[in-house]
Structure 1
Amino acid sequence: MNPQTTPASSPSATTFATPWGTLDLTRFPVDPRERLRAWDAADEYLLRHLAGETDSAGGAATELAGRRIVVLGDRWGALTTALATAPSAESATAPSAESTTEPSTGPAPAPAPYEPVQISDSHLGRQATRENLARAGTAVDEARLLTTRDTPPERIDVLLVRVPKSLALLEDQLHRLAPAIHPGTVVIGTGMVTEIHTSTLQLFEKVLGPTRTSLAVRKARLILCTPDPALDRGPNPWPHRYALPSDIGAAAGRTVVNHAGTFCAERLDIGTRFFLAHLPTPAPGDRVVDLGCGNGVVGTAAALAGPGAELLFVDESHQAVASAEETFRTNLGPDAPAEFRTADALDPAVFAPGSVDLVLNNPPFHSHQATTDATAWRMFTGARRALRPGGELWVVGNRHLGYHVKLRKLFGNCQLVAGNPKFVVLRAVKR
């Protein structure tokens, strides 16, 4: 199915055909130049399977009415929106001819939708879900939106899993959800063929029970798991902790805490290591933002080097912000002043213009499986807006990404602080 731009909705919306109708979906934030869809063949395959339209279902639809449906890892809300707007089988059934109930003289009641529970690590994904529900004319409360840090439901009858890029995040979340799964729970995963590996299937089997895969359709595949509540899955191994190297400045030898799904959970990555060796020292009273904080090691190092600075950790991942808070508290104590926010870069609704002195940034250049500089550009523009005159943005990045070009265009200046064959540390000042 080819995406089709929908003039009546957002310029970047594409029409997603589900077994129950069509939806106009977008990613978040909405960008008219965006060429990436808010759904793919894996989302489509799973919904068709639920409706009994694939060979994998044996021609039978999955019973959903009256059952607690949990959707894990729904990237932009395609699955949640489709289920929240689909008429349930019970409410969509017309009265039989033998019914003695008097016919209603008023309009027929609208079929009640299912009420899925979405569990997501992504702030942007949750915002996209809210906007897609609103675009479909559905109240947000038709779906319950939880984060990966929230307490999961006590009972799950249908578990739908969009396989994440991070196998660690999948492991952590399956462990968290396993106590709510019972022998009758329907467990179905979905992903593109390139996203589902032997290790993915082994993880389902280890934590939930026997697992098999479907045939591939349009390069997408389903994971079909039969829960075994008696399975000895062992304890959840997350979060992980490790000590930093001894030659990286103020944070040398300190402990890092990584919740599942956070970048470089097992060791310090080489880009951050290079950045730590060249960080500026904040002055007392400076408001410093660790933007895209991940496990918080950069902001923690800045706080250790510059006592008296006010630290603010920001990431769009709930797992990352939880990691940053534990890393900071482990090294500076429970009462050290700092803020931890899950947000879209330096959202102007959250960060007042001219309210920040220093921004430290190691921007990602992937969004799920797609390579894109959209996130870095949004971070840079948000940093410029939030910085006071004379405030500075410090960035580390792969040399080949050419961030200096973007920073010069945006700030009018860019200084190379340090470089090696792979990475550069750049400094831009708001004039």
Structure 2
Amino acid sequence: MNTEFIFADRQLSLIRYPEKHQHVSLQAWDSADELAIEHIETLMNEDEVAITRDNPLMLFNDDFGALGCWFSHLSPIWVSDSYIATRSLSENLKNNGLTQNTPESQTDTSCSPLPTLPVRTLTSVQSMSFVPDHKPSIILLKVPRALALLEQQLIDIQNYISPNTRVIATGKIKTITKSVLGLFEKYIGSTTTSLAKKKSRLVFATPSPTIQQASSPYPTRWQCKGTMGQTITLDNLANVFSRQSLDIGARIMLEHMTISANDVVVDLGCGNGVLGVNALALAPTCRVIFVDESFMALESARLNVLNNFPDKIAQCEFVASNCMEALLSQKPRPAVTKVLCNPPFHQQNTITDHIAWQMFSDAREILVKSGHLVVVGNRHLDYHIKLKKLFGGAKVLASDKKFVILGTAKR
């Protein structure tokens, strides 16, 4: 695997967290990072812009910390909705000797800024209420996979910018669509793009004084039916998977869920938390641990417990984690009896099955003896093969033409 980022006479060792699960064909930076670095370094070298403590650099959606490491000497404000990105940044800063105070792992969605030097980290949830004391000189965004997240961030950015702020985005050509450019035009101002280089390009948006501060359309709210036919009300912040409606995998899982009164349930990769909320409906005395690597997902899940079962919030825990490593490191570990899992099969824009494999492995480790893992997924993903290797087998609990629910127990 390639972990040595060599660019413009500098070399950094960069990994995708967790390093032990990094796929040999993937690396922690891309040509969009290189293009942004080259442009900002040119601006500074030609004295076209001054980045100072009073007029800082803000970085959004830095996938694995490459930009945060490169510009660490400028004490940027670093914003991400990803726990894995935050841990990647922390590890990469430490491994390159760039700081004595790396960002701490964040296990909640509190909205107070977390100042650390030389990188000050904020989650996307925090950035909604965070306004810096001084206006940024440059705001650099990597174009995220979810248009809704970009929209929320551009609305947030309206609070931060001055007429002199340079708003720059970077991404692969395929991610910089008309819809993306339209959002910059709508919320920031006149927008242009650079020429393409190594299949990436830059976006330049000039702040317009005629654009008024927008109100956020997020969270979006809708309702669905639970296992027993009860109505569940769901709030969805901008970066939540299947934000506009119930995804098909969750729908078939809801139709076939069973929860017992004494279960300790993990809703793994919880998204808006619909499975965990339904567990509370099925067994009001159960305990539910919501786990996701998205801070917006965890905040959505918390809101949805409050929306539907406010008296059950003390029975719930909301944990930011790479799969279940945060729970596995707890002492004592929770006595988990059931894990519900609708695994993702992509990381940012990369199709991958390593996340599902780690989720299943972590579930096997954390479940008590005879505890159950219940998985829903597309038929073509062949999860039964992975489960057979780890658990010795799996039963088909339900299926349709596209999806299958598999159940297995720890022996």
Q: Same fold (TM over 0.5)?
A: yes
Query: Of 145, 148, 166, which aligns to 2:121?
Result: 145
Secondary structure of 2:42 counterpart: coil
Tell me, yes or no, if structure 1 residue 118 matches structure 2 residue 95: no
Tell me, yes or no, if structure 1 residue 237 matches structure 2 residue 213: no
Q: Is the 8 A contact 1:354 1:385 kept in 2?
A: no
Q: Where does 1:180-219 land on structure 2 (aligned, <5 Å)?
A: 180-219=160-199
Tell me, yes or no, if structure 1 residue 16 matches structure 2 residue 16: no
What are the Cα deviations for residues 39-96 of structure 1, in whole angstroms up to 9, with x where unaligned? 000000000011228xxx9977643244311101111001110001xxxxxxxxxxxx
Q: One-letter code of the match for 2:36? A: L
Q: Could you say which residue in structure 2 is the equivalent of 1:130? A: 90
Tell me, yes or no, if structure 1 residue 25 matches structure 2 residue 8: no
The 1:23/1:412 distance shift into structure 2, 3 A limit, reads same
The 1:19/1:60 distance shift into structure 2, 3 A limit, reads farther
Q: Could you say which residue in structure 2 is the equivalent of 1:254? A: 232
Separation in structure 2 between the aligned mates of residue 290 and residue 181 of structure 1, nearest angstrom: 38
Tell me, yes or no, if structure 1 residue 73 matches structure 2 residue 33: no
Q: Is the 8 A contact 1:206 1:233 kept in 2?
A: no
Tell me, yes or no, if structure 1 residue 40 matches structure 2 residue 35: no
Q: Is the 8 A contact 1:358 1:392 kept in 2?
A: yes
Q: One-letter code of the match for 1:44? A: E
Name which of structure 1's ranges 355-364 and 153-162 shifts more when overlaid on structure 2.
153-162
Secondary structure of 1:389 counterpart: strand
Q: Could you say which residue in structure 1 is the equivalent of 2:271? A: 294
Secondary structure of 2:235 counterpart: strand
The 1:40/1:251 distance shift into structure 2, 3 A limit, reads farther
TM-score by length of 2: 0.90
Q: Could you say which residue in structure 1 is the equivalent of 2:50? A: 63
Q: One-letter code of the match for 1:166? A: A
Q: CA deviation at 1:283?
A: 1.8
Q: One-letter code of the match for 1:49? A: H
Q: CA deviation at 1:199?
A: 0.8
The 1:60/1:223 distance shift into structure 2, 3 A limit, reads farther
Tell me, yes or no, if structure 1 residue 339 matches structure 2 residue 328: no
Q: Could you say which residue in structure 2 is the equivalent of 1:49? A: 39
Q: Could you say which residue in structure 1 is the equivalent of 2:391? A: 411
Secondary structure of 2:163 counterpart: strand
Q: Is the 8 A contact 2:50 2:137 kept in 1?
A: no
What are the Cα deviations for residues 198-229 of structure 1, in whole angstroms up to 9, with x where unaligned? 11011011111111111100110100011124
Q: Is the 8 A contact 2:59 2:78 kept in 1?
A: yes
What are the Cα deviations for residues 101-156 of structure 1, in whole angstroms up to 9, with x where unaligned? xxxxxxxxxxxx21011100000000000011111111122111111111434232
Q: CA deviation at 1:19?
A: 3.3
Q: Could you say which residue in structure 2 is the equivalent of 1:105? A: none
Q: Is the 8 A contact 2:158 2:213 kept in 1?
A: no
Tell me, yes or no, if structure 1 residue 315 matches structure 2 residue 292: yes
Secondary structure of 1:328 counterpart: helix
Separation in structure 2 between the aligned mates of residue 426 and residue 229 of structure 1, nearest angstrom: 55
The 1:34/1:350 distance shift into structure 2, 3 A limit, reads farther
The 1:127/1:13 distance shift into structure 2, 3 A limit, reads farther
Q: Is the 8 A contact 1:251 1:304 kept in 2?
A: no
The 1:24/1:153 distance shift into structure 2, 3 A limit, reads farther
Name which of structure 1's ranges 35-44 and 141-150 shifts more when overlaid on structure 2.
141-150
Tell me, yes or no, if structure 1 residue 328 matches structure 2 residue 317: no
Secondary structure of 2:384 counterpart: helix
Separation in structure 2 between the aligned mates of residue 211 and residue 146 of structure 1, nearest angstrom: 26
Separation in structure 2 between the aligned mates of residue 124 and residue 251 of structure 1, nearest angstrom: 36
Query: Of 82, 87, 100, which aligns to 2:70?
Result: 82
Name which of structure 1's ranges 223-232 and 185-194 shifts more when overlaid on structure 2.
223-232
Separation in structure 2 between the aligned mates of residue 152 and residue 407 of structure 1, nearest angstrom: 43
Separation in structure 2 between the aligned mates of residue 46 and residue 189 of structure 1, nearest angstrom: 8
Separation in structure 1 between the aligned mates of residue 130 and residue 228 of structure 2, nearest angstrom: 38
The size of the alignment, in residue pairs, is 386
Q: CA deviation at 1:33?
A: 4.4
Q: Is the 8 A contact 1:288 1:311 kept in 2?
A: yes
Name which of structure 1's ranges 269-278 and 121-130 shifts more when overlaid on structure 2.
269-278
Secondary structure of 2:62 counterpart: coil
The 1:229/1:350 distance shift into structure 2, 3 A limit, reads farther
Secondary structure of 1:184 counterpart: coil
Q: Is the 8 A contact 1:18 1:47 kept in 2?
A: no
Q: Could you say which residue in structure 1 is the equivalent of 2:368? A: 388
Q: Is the 8 A contact 1:19 1:47 kept in 2?
A: no
Q: Could you say which residue in structure 1 is the equivalent of 2:248? A: 270
Q: CA deviation at 1:250?
A: 3.2
Name which of structure 1's ranges 248-257 and 370-379 shifts more when overlaid on structure 2.
248-257
Q: One-letter code of the match for 2:367? A: L
Separation in structure 2 between the aligned mates of residue 422 and residue 58 of structure 1, nearest angstrom: 55
Larger RCO, structure (CA 8 Å, separation 6 or more):
2
Q: CA deviation at 1:269?
A: 1.1
Q: CA deviation at 1:326?
A: 0.8
Q: CA deviation at 1:243?
A: 1.1
The 1:261/1:315 distance shift into structure 2, 3 A limit, reads same
Identity %: 38
Q: One-letter code of the match for 2:294? A: S
Structure 1: which 5+ runs fail to align?
1-11, 85-112
Tell me, yes or no, if structure 1 residue 356 matches structure 2 residue 336: yes
Q: Could you say which residue in structure 1 is the equivalent of 2:403? A: 423
Q: Is the 8 A contact 1:351 1:386 kept in 2?
A: no
Higher-Rg member (1/2): 1
Separation in structure 1 between the aligned mates of residue 79 and residue 149 of structure 2, nearest angstrom: 12
Q: CA deviation at 1:17?
A: 2.6
Q: Is the 8 A contact 2:2 2:26 kept in 1?
A: no
